């Protein structure tokens, strides 16, 4: 086991010498400092497990030094050394956060006892109450990514962990899904610990390596088997009690994971069922709508011919409302059956230009500037141009609709990493609130008076069918950027 590190600060060299000898005989690794400045340098350099500060030091007292030390190492147990007979000072020191006090001259048993207790009471878990509160909060679920992030983040915040990583089994491979904390370096050691605790099905800690790093892991059980593990990297050697806390935490994380998985399954199932039903209803509406359109147009002509302009205007309005309903119905039926793709080599630059022309015809905003940054070196991609046109048409129409008061529309294409091309549609329009952003892809979600709430849902379905991905970045009042990544070669 790595020896614990002690820092002793006193302006009396004789005291330093005595304490160095005593503490070394207890198996401690001792660092000495004669002044506040020296002590701070050492505290900035490395972590200590216990510190002994002289109360009376000039010009900065031991209590001030303790405050500075705790700013750097919040959980460092500090023992304040006072001259015999100044018990009031000692009490004040403890009140201000000292672990305990030592009176000079030292009684060997007292020194041994208090330093020993300071070391053994130092815990890996910083704040158990916080840990429990965070665990409870996890019980309310969100998306999978958010839950995993919360688990990693909470672990780092509530413990002495320098890094926490959540691993999940994905297609038989252990993948790091979320990570928090500042420790640098590769994840190999953590992944190994994750695999080990999943195998053994119990929380465990590794022995400290040459740098004094310890890995703690706890398996995450979902549906009978270990679905992953929560692994942390720390420099404080944990007790059995600490492992229990980690196990408690991982079991709470497990509940959150289970809830989220179920919720996601439910959501997608309900969505699919709703889509099928909507498609059927829409289909039934198509023929009557066609009839309505014909009658309205006939009426419009007839009234116009008879000189009844008011009447023909109303008929014209009916006709346009019917058009809107027909659009809606077409979108719903398309959503219901995505159909198979007919991929051909497609020039996305040309496609973007033709979508822009179409979209501009649909939206009557004034004062809109358009900038195109279409990379001429963009490779052709294997896409179904009819389907993909729907995607960008929807995105551009949304962008234009967001800029009813004018603005700039930017369309960009560029080759992206790993055989993908990226198309971005950006506007300087109204942007989205967080709530809107969370729901944009929901079927029938719209914030517009005459919106269908289908555009984004359709766009995402088509992009995903192609093996691509969509990302939205939006700021309320500033604008929105939607990026679409599409594979060059069919996956």
Q: Which residues bind ligand ADP (CB under 6 A)?
A: 394, 398-399, 402, 427, 429-432, 436, 440, 445-448, 451-457, 480
Residue 415 contacts which entry, ligand ADP, Mg ion, none (Cβ below 5-8 A, type-dependent)? none
3-state secondary structure of 235: coil
Q: And the tokens for 64?
A: 């001030």
CA distance 296 to 299: 5
Q: Would you say 174 or 402 has its CB closer to Mg ion?
A: 402
For residue 326, the surrounding DSSP H or E stretch is: helix 309-336
When binding is defined by CB under 5 A, the residue of 260, 398, 428, 474 that contacts Mg ion is 398
> Which alpha helices (H) appear in 122-213, and where do they start and end?
128-138, 144-158, 188-200
Residue 77 contacts which entry, Mg ion, ligand ADP, none (Cβ below 5-8 A, type-dependent)? none
* CA 301, chain centre distance (Å): 59
Residue 275 contacts which entry, ligand ADP, Mg ion, none (Cβ below 5-8 A, type-dependent)? none
Residue 429 contacts which entry, ligand ADP, Mg ion, none (Cβ below 5-8 A, type-dependent)? ligand ADP
Q: Smallest gap, in angstroms, from Cβ of residue 212 to ligand ADP?
A: 51
Q: Smallest gap, in angstroms, from Cβ of residue 319 to ligand ADP?
A: 21
> How does strand 381-383 pair with strand 344-346?
antiparallel
Residues pairing with 214 in the sheet: 234
Short-list 19, 109, 112, 118, CA closest to 33: 19
Q: Would you say 254 or 398 has its CB closer to Mg ion?
A: 398
- Which of the ranges 68-76, 191-199, 206-214, 390-398 carries the binding residues for Mg ion, by CB under 5 A? 390-398
CA distance 66 to 81: 12
455 part of the interface to Mg ion, by CB under 5 A: yes
Is the alpha carbon torsion for 339, 344, 348, 351 positive or negative? negative
Short-list 121, 123, 149, 119, CA closest to 137: 149
Q: Smallest gap, in angstroms, from Cβ of residue 211 to ligand ADP?
A: 49
Q: Are 459 and 422 in contact (CB under 8 A)?
A: no
Q: And the tokens for 463?
A: 């992009």
Residue 260 contacts which entry, ligand ADP, Mg ion, none (Cβ below 5-8 A, type-dependent)? none
Residue 399 contacts which entry, ligand ADP, Mg ion, none (Cβ below 5-8 A, type-dependent)? ligand ADP
- Residue carrying the six token digits 């989205």: 432
Q: Smallest gap, in angstroms, from Cβ of residue 372 to ligand ADP?
A: 17
Q: Smallest gap, in angstroms, from Cβ of residue 360 to ligand ADP?
A: 15
DSSP letter at 211 equals T
Q: Would you say 383 or 432 has its CB closer to ligand ADP?
A: 432
3-state secondary structure of 477: coil
Q: Smallest gap, in angstroms, from Cβ of residue 329 to ligand ADP?
A: 14
Q: Would you say 190 or 409 has its CB closer to ligand ADP?
A: 409
Q: Would you say 234 or 398 has its CB closer to ligand ADP?
A: 398
Q: Would you say 246 or 457 has its CB closer to ligand ADP?
A: 457
CA distance 271 to 45: 56
Q: Would you say 287 or 450 has its CB closer to Mg ion?
A: 450
Q: Would you say 241 or 327 has its CB closer to Mg ion?
A: 327
> How does strand 225-234 pair with strand 368-374?
unpaired
Residue 445 contacts which entry, Mg ion, ligand ADP, none (Cβ below 5-8 A, type-dependent)? ligand ADP
Q: How many CB atoms lie within 10 A of CB 248?
A: 16
Q: Smallest gap, in angstroms, from Cβ of residue 265 to ligand ADP?
A: 23
206 part of the interface to Mg ion, by CB under 5 A: no
Short-list 369, 458, 441, CA closest to 411: 369
> How does strand 225-234 pair with strand 100-104?
unpaired
CA distance 335 to 151: 36
3-state secondary structure of 351: helix
> How does strand 5-9 pair with strand 50-54?
parallel
Q: Smallest gap, in angstroms, from Cβ of residue 483 to ligand ADP?
A: 12
Q: Would you say 217 or 455 has its CB closer to Mg ion?
A: 455
- Which of the ranges 144-152, 218-226, 259-267, 448-456 carries the binding residues for Mg ion, by CB under 5 A? 448-456
Q: Would you say 408 or 446 has its CB closer to Mg ion?
A: 446
- Which of the ranges 77-85, 134-142, 289-297, 447-455 carries the binding residues for Mg ion, by CB under 5 A? 447-455
Q: Smallest gap, in angstroms, from Cβ of residue 484 to Mg ion?
A: 15
- Binding positions for Mg ion, rule: CB under 5 A: 398, 455
């Amino acid at each position: 086991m790595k020896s614990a590190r002690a820092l002793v600060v006193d302006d009396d060299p004789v005291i330093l010498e005595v304490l160095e000898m005593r503490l070394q005989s207890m198996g401690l690794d001792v660092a000495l400092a004669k002044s506040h400045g020296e002590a701070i340098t050492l505290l900035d350099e490395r972590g200590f497990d216990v510190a002994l500060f002289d109360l009376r030091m000039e010009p900065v007292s031991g209590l001030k030094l303790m405050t500075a030390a705790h700013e750097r190492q919040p959980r460092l147990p500090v023992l304040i050394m006072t001259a015999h007979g100044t018990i009031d000072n000692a009490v004040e020191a403890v009140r201000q956060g000292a672990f305990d006090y030592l009176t000079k001259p030292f009684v060997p048993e007292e020194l041994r006892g208090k330093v020993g207790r300071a070391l053994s009471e130092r815990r890996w878990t910083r704040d158990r109450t916080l840990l429990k509160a965070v665990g409870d909060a996890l019980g309310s679920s969100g998306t999978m990514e958010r839950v995993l992030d919360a688990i990693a983040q909470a672990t780092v915040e509530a413990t002495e962990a320098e890094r926490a990583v959540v691993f999940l089994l994905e297609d038989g491979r252990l993948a790091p899904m979320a990570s928090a904390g500042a420790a640098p370096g590769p994840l190999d050691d953590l992944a190994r610990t994750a695999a080990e605790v999943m195998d053994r099905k119990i929380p465990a800690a590794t022995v400290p390596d040459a740098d004094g790093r310890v890995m703690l892991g706890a398996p995450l059980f979902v549906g009978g088997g270990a679905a992953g593990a929560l692994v942390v990297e720390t420099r404080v050697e944990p007790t059995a009690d600490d492992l229990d806390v980690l196990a408690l935490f991982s079991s709470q994380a497990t509940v959150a994971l289970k809830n989220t998985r179920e919720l996601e399954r439910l959501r997608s199932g309900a969505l699919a069922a709703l889509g099928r039903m909507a498609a059927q209803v829409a289909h039934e509406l198509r023929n009557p709508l066609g009839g309505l359109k014909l009658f309205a147009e006939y009426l419009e002509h007839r009234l116009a011919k008879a000189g009844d302009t008011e009447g023909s205007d109303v008929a014209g309005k009916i006709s346009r409302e019917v058009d809107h309903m027909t659009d809606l119905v077409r979108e719903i039926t398309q959503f219901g059956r995505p159909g198979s793709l007919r991929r051909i080599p497609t020039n996305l630059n040309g496609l973007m230009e033709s979508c822009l022309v179409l979209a501009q015809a649909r939206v009557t905003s004034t004062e809109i500037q358009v900038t195109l940054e279409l990379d001429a070196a963009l490779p052709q991609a294997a896409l179904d141009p009819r389907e993909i046109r729907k995607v960008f048409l929807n995105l551009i129409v949304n962008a234009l609709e967001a800029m009813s008061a004018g603005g700039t529309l930017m369309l960009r294409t560029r080759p992206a990493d790993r055989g993908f091309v990226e198309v971005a549609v950006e506007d300087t329009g109204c942007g989205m609130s967080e709530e809107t952003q969370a729901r944009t892809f929901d079927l029938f979600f719209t914030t517009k008076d005459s919106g269908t709430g289908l555009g984004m849902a359709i766009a995402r379905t088509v992009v995903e069918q192609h093996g691509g991905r969509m990302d939205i970045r939006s700021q309320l009042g500033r604008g929105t950027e939607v990026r679409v990544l599409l594979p060059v070669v069919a996956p």
